[in-house]
Amino acid sequence: MVGAVEMSLYEAIRTRRDVRAEFTGEPVDDAVLWRILEAAHCAPSVGNSQPWDFVLVRNRATLRKFAAHVAEKRLQFARSLPPERAATFDPIKIEGIEESGTGVVVVHDDARGGPHILGRASVPETGVYSTVLAIQNLWLAATAEQIGVGWVSFYDAPFLAELIGLPAGIRPVAWLCIGPVTEFQRTPDLERFGWRGRRALADAVHYEGYDAGREQ
């Protein structure tokens, strides 16, 4: 297990990984988890609506049930792929639900803050963007604590909502597997396994307009 280290923000950004296979099986320390959640809770939000909540799941039976559901969704996705992509996908692990021992389900309440959310009137998605920013804060803080995070999105939202007893109107945005790790991979799994690599920044930056040339 790697220990907590002093880390600059840029270093946390550079070394953050989506973790699946490297969880030690030890639970994340409660005080550390709380610090990570405090970082998530510091996120910016449209109209200061703070539309997120965090459902912590450690019950073994619940983790197992969710993992079984995710396995089924993984199979469905694999079956939808052409043979060559299916072969590339086959060895890729997509979750560490049981191994991490802790699930943090980040959920979103679009009604939080009432009907007049300052800044959300023209772009309704800004509500859920805010919850996603809390996730990014959580992910970077966990990295600074040398704690692994793996985002799982292979699920049907109604299944997960029922599993953790979400009231109507509150929707899951992410299941995050959180726990100590043996190591952080240097290269994203999807790149290591040949699924998809990173784009160059220069390909993502546009000048003055999307189609108007790029800097030479």
Ligand X SMILES: Cc1cc2nc3c(=O)[nH]c(=O)nc-3n(C[C@H](O)[C@H](O)[C@H](O)COP(=O)(O)O)c2cc1C
**Which residues are at the interface with ligand X (CB under 6 A)?**
17-18, 20, 94-95, 150-154, 188, 190
Instruction: Name the residue nearer to ligand X (CB basis): 109 or 189.
Output: 189
Instruction: Name the residue nearer to ligand X (CB basis): 116 or 199.
Output: 199
Helices 30-41 and 126-144, axial angle in degrees (round to 10): 140
**What is the nearest approach in angstroms of ligand X to the Cβ of residue 16?**
7
**What is the nearest approach in angstroms of ligand X to the Cβ of residue 123?**
19
Instruction: Name the residue nearer to ligand X (CB basis): 96 or 113.
Output: 96
Closest CA to 185 of 6, 14, 8: 14
Query: To which residue do tokens 């809390």 refer?
Result: 134
Q: Strand order of the sheet with strand 103-109?
A: 52-57, 103-109, 170-180, 147-152
Instruction: Name the residue nearer to ligand X (CB basis): 45 or 155.
Output: 155
Residue with the shortest CB distance to ligand X: 188
**What is the nearest approach in angstroms of ligand X to the Cβ of residue 68?**
15
Distances (CA, A) of 110 to 101, 115, 124, 154, 173: 29, 9, 9, 22, 12
Instruction: Name the residue nearer to ligand X (CB basis): 95 or 145.
Output: 95
Which tokens go with 208? 């003055």
**What is the nearest approach in angstroms of ligand X to the Cβ of residue 201?**
14
**What is the nearest approach in angstroms of ligand X to the Cβ of residue 88?**
13
Terminal-to-terminal C-alpha distance of the chain: 46
